[in-house]
Chains A and B, each alone.
Chain A
């Protein structure tokens, strides 16, 4: 896909870092303020979509592999943290393995490195959601390219 005009490029170059910072803020404060992984992840995906559409995105194998790799890392963080809790529960007798019972320290309430499992869960969910929406956007971009190629009449 071709990029857009120089006005859109300049203004999106100014806006994208600010939107990314807002999304990261909402993700990393998931256990302190309203919001969390899903909400922050959608904001990050919106910023990346703005960048991709303004500068012209193209769907190739490398982009798909990057998106899938980041998404898998997000799910792997969640799975590993949940697995640590599950092992602890297995040793002490079976229970709710997603609940934090003494494996991860709770810390001081209100600090960013507190609340045990909730911060890694938020980060993993944010990665997963942002890259999942980027995958959908890539599919849309590819459909648009396909329609344009069909419409130009070969």
Chain B
């Protein structure tokens, strides 16, 4: 690899690192997240769903579409792997 390519990649890495540091510093600090999304979920999760685990509440109740799609993708991936290799066994 030539020196010019290495310099270009280093420059790109520096730019990405700078953006990462800038946006990380702009996050709200720990414990001060009230008023964002958590301000919606935390007060009403218990009476909406009756569950104590708020993460499960968000994953399977409020954002159920997303998790249903994720489960379907996992199902299809495993079936696809088995199908691909079953053909190889027959040969």
Contacts and interface: CB of A to CB of B under 8 A. Distances in A.
A97 B85 CA distance: 37
A96 B64 CA distance: 8
Nearest to A59: B89
B53 A34 contact: yes
A71 B79 CA distance: 10
A36 B50 CA distance: 16
Q: How large is the interface on B (under 10, 10 to 19, 20 to 34, 35 or more residues)?
A: 20 to 34
Given A75-B71, A99-B62, A34 B52 contact: no
B17 to A, nearest CB: 32
Q: How large is the interface on A (under 10, 10 to 19, 20 to 34, 35 or more residues)?
A: 35 or more
Interface string B52-65: 11011101111011
A139 interface: yes
Contacts of B81: 135-136, 139
Contacts of A20: none
Interface of B: 46, 48-53, 55-57, 59-62, 64-65, 67-68, 71-72, 74-75, 77-79, 81-82, 85-86, 88-89
Interface of A: 30-34, 36, 59, 64, 67-68, 71, 75, 78, 82, 96-100, 106-110, 114-118, 121-122, 124-125, 128-129, 131-133, 135-136, 138-139, 142-143, 146
Report, nearest first, the 5 A-B pairs whose CB atoms are least far apart: A98-B64, A106-B50, A115-B51, A31-B51, A132-B78
Given A36-B56, A75-B75, A99-B62, 9 more contacts: A31-B57, A71-B79, A78-B71, A96-B62, A96-B64, A118-B49, A122-B60, A125-B67, A135-B79
